[in-house]
Amino acid sequence: MNQAEADELRDWSRFEAKSLNEECGLFGVWGHPDAARLTYFGLHALQHRGQEGAGILVNNNGKLNRHRGLGLVTEVFRDEKDLEELTGSSAIGHVRYATAGSANINNIQPFHFEFHDGALGLAHNGNLTNAQSLRCELEKSGAIFSSNSDTEILMHLIRRSHHPEFMGRVKEALNTVKGGFAYLIMTENSIVAALDPNGFRPLSIGKMSNGALVVASETCAFDVVGATWIQDVQPGEIIEINDDGIHVDQFTDSTNMTICSMEYIYFARPDSNIAGVNVHTARKRSGKILAQEAQIDADIVIGVPNSSLSAASGYAEASGLPYEMGLIKNQYVARTFIQPTQELREQGVRMKLSAVRGVVEGKRVIMVDDSIVRGTTSRRIVKLLKDAGAAEVHVAIASPALKYPCFYGIDIQDRDELIAASHTTNEIKTIIGADSLTYLSQAGLIEAIGHDKLCLSYFDGEYPTPLYDYEKDYLESLAKNGVK
């Protein structure tokens, strides 16, 4: 395989994979006799937030047990036998996102620690901006890490704190780590939930009819387990959940809510509510506003399945154009190690996405998508539609152009991966082969979501916190290639 073929294959794979990855999903339950099973269903509802691995840790009268593994929740927990060892009335669980190649069972959470003076469990969603320097400092004073996950750092900080109370030690540790983080800690008699001072990642608390308390990265998990939303964990909060109920405290007063806008745009499930806003509704509104801003003359509106269907239906409604199913995604998505050869790809073989010739043939199509990362996927979908006979393909993106990396938990930390960091909209239009390309304005996005307590640094480079360990590299990358 020569270099060109290798590039082609990489492009192909990216076309077939999601190009942005969330860091994880959290779920916890306190006070239910079937805690592990509930957590299983909760994690299944959060599966879209991470597919590399999953784990559940239970607290059985102060004794912690864990089962974890690589793969989807339904692969890690295959049958009743996998739940048998997980008796207990409280549990925390975790789904971890997939990165190429590095799947390692040691990194799968929740972590489980057994000390001579008690046991602890720990699960984490987010990304620390000072992990590298903290880890180095800790190692210099004798700390040994058992994974290459940042998550362990918090436990080392807790164990080295000299504060006389456990909650005091946790607060000290939370004030030392920086960046985006939502933590669940299982102690022998409580679950502790904590959120970074900016509240980058969502975390909510719900209640079941039998009084059990649940905590989850997204409210869609509440619906699945039959729980009702009570409250969101607020930036800087540390909440203890135990037999006495919910105890809210702050580990810092210096907070500033800037929730990740990409949760609304792409990551979260449409049936989740984030900061009180339903995700489907925000997306549909973004499609409507996009229609008003774009004013494209066309015959039909189609969405790229599945994340852009809400925005597309909003676009169709606002524009008065028919909303059609012009692209079909094979619902039997599965990891496969069998790929089309170069020759088959040239002959048109593809696995996951098909254009519906009977729908798009001869039509001027508005193709609504949520975002463009590298441009590769968009180029291929435009080609699919044109090969299926579309007369024109107008690409309408239901968010502003992505120009800056994320350091708070989204898996793009390199500006080279973002096509809009180095190309104008017109250049991108040409590269992806579209007849026109329109982005939603930043004001339009804020209007669609309905509030502005958002991290929008993806679009404008205004990071709400210092970048710590990332600062130097980031400034160098900015210097290297300016933003268009």
Q: What is the spatial distance between Cα 484 and Cα 481, in angstroms, rounded to a whole number?
A: 9
* Binding to a copy of itself, residues 218-247 (CB under 8 A): 220, 223-227
210 binds a copy of itself (CB under 8 A): yes
Q: How far is the CB of 401 from a copy of itself (least distance, A)?
A: 26
Separation CA 239–CA 251 (nearest Å):
10
Which of 69/433 has CB closer to a copy of itself?
Answer: 69
Strands 392-397 and 237-242: unpaired
DSSP per-residue letters across 426-478? HHHHHHHT-SEEEE--HHHHHHHHT---EE-HHHH---SS--GGGHHHHHHHH
The tokens of 160 are what?
Answer: 């080295």
Q: Is 136 a catalytic residue?
A: no
Part of the chain binding a copy of itself (CB under 8 A), chosen from 19-27, 206-214, 231-239, 441-449: 206-214
Binding status of residue 109 toward a copy of itself by CB under 8 A: no
Q: How far is CA 116 from CA 113, 119, 120, 161, in A?
A: 10, 8, 11, 17
Residue (73 or 265) nearer to a copy of itself, CB: 73
Could you say whether residue 273 binds a copy of itself (CB under 8 A)? Answer: yes
User: In this structure, are residues 124 and 180 in contact, taking their beta carbons and an 8 Å threshold?
Assistant: no
Task: Give yes or no for residue 328 binding a copy of itself (CB under 8 A).
Answer: yes
Q: Which stretch binds a copy of itself (CB under 8 A): 171-179, 189-197, 273-281, 396-404?
A: 273-281
- The residue within the footprint of a copy of itself, chosen from 12, 39, 48, 184 (CB under 8 A), is 48
Within positions 383 to 442, which residues make up the interface with a copy of itself, using CB under 8 A? Answer: 388
Is the bond into 322 cis (omega within 30 degrees of 0)?
Answer: no
Query: Shortest approach of a copy of itself to residue 169 CB, angstroms?
Result: 11
292: contact with a copy of itself by CB under 8 A: no
Burial class (CB in 10 A: 0-12, 13-18, 19+), 162: exposed
Instruction: Give yes or no for residue 299 binding a copy of itself (CB under 8 A).
Output: no
Please tell me whether residue 159 binds a copy of itself under the rule CB under 8 A: yes
Q: In b/e form, how buried is each residue of 11-27, taking b as 16+ CB within 10 angstroms?
A: bbebbbebbbbbbbbbb
Q: Which of residues 343-372 bind a copy of itself (CB under 8 A)?
A: 343-344, 347-351, 354-359
124 binds a copy of itself (CB under 8 A): no
With CB under 8 A as the contact rule, the residue among 6, 136, 248, 475 that binds a copy of itself is 136
Per CB under 8 A, 334 contacts a copy of itself: yes
Contacts of 393 (CB under 8 A, 6+ apart): 365, 367, 382, 385, 386, 433, 434, 435
Binding mask 17-36 for a copy of itself (x = CB under 8 A): -----------------x--
> Which among 327, 405, 355, 409 is positioned nearest to 24, based on CA atoms?
409
Q: Does 211 bind a copy of itself (CB under 8 A)?
A: no
Q: Which residues are catalytic, by number?
A: 24
